[in-house]
Amino acid sequence: MPEPTVKPALRVLIVDDELNIRKSLAMSIECDGHEVVAVSNAQDAIDQAARGSFDLAFLDLRLGPTLGSDIIPDLLAQSPWMRIVIITAHGSIDSAVETMRRGATDYLTKPFTPAQVRLVIERVMQFRAMEQKVAGLQGLLNEPEAAANLESDSPAMQRLIAAARQFARSETTILLRGESGTGKGMLARAIHAWSERAGKPFATVSCPTLSAQLLESELFGHAKGAFTSAVRDNPGRIAACEGGTLFLDEIGDLPRELQPKLLRFIQDRQYERVGDAVTRHADVRLITATNIDLEDAVKAGTFREDLLYRIKVMQIDLPPLRERPEDVAKLSERFLAELRRGRGIVGFTAEALAALSSYTWPGNIRELRNVIERAAILCQAERIGLEHLPANFAPQEIRVNVGDAVSLDKLEELHIRRVLAQTRSLDEAAKTLGIDLATLWRRRKKYGI
Predicted confidence (pLDDT) per residue in 53-92, tens digit: 888 999 998 888 888 888 998 888 888 888 999 888 776 6
Round to whole Å and give the CA distance between 150 and 170. 20
| Mean model confidence pLDDT for the chain | 85
14 pLDDT above the threshold of 90: yes
| Three-state DSSP state, 238 | helix
Higher pLDDT, 252 or 419: 252
Helix (H, G, I), strand (E, B) or coil at 366: helix
Q: Which of 155, 200, 429, 102 is nearest to 319 (CA)?
A: 155
Query: pLDDT value at position 226?
Result: 74
In this predicted model, what pLDDT tens digit does every residue of 184-226 receive, in sequence order?
Answer: 999 999 999 899 888 788 999 999 988 888 899 999 988 887 7
Q: Which domains does the chain have, with CATH numbers?
A: 11-128 (3.40.50.2300), 143-319 (3.40.50.300), 323-447 (1.10.8.60)
What's the pTM value of the predicted model, to 2 decimals?
0.68
Write b or e for each residue in 221-249: b if 16 or more Cβ atoms lie within 10 A of its Cβ, otherwise e: bbbeebeeeeeebbbbbbbbbbbbbbbbb
Between the two ends of the chain, the Cα-to-Cα distance in Å is 36
Give the whole-angstrom CA distance, residue 363 versus residue 354: 18
- Distance (Å, rounded) from C-alpha 215 to C-alpha 217? 5
CB 12 within 8 Å of CB 55 = yes
- The DSSP 8-state label assigned to residue 93 in this structure reads H
3-class secondary-structure state, position 10: coil
Distance, in Å, from the CA atom of 23 to the CA atom of 27, rounded to the nearest integer, reads: 6
The full DSSP string for 39-56 is ESSHHHHHHHHHHS--SE
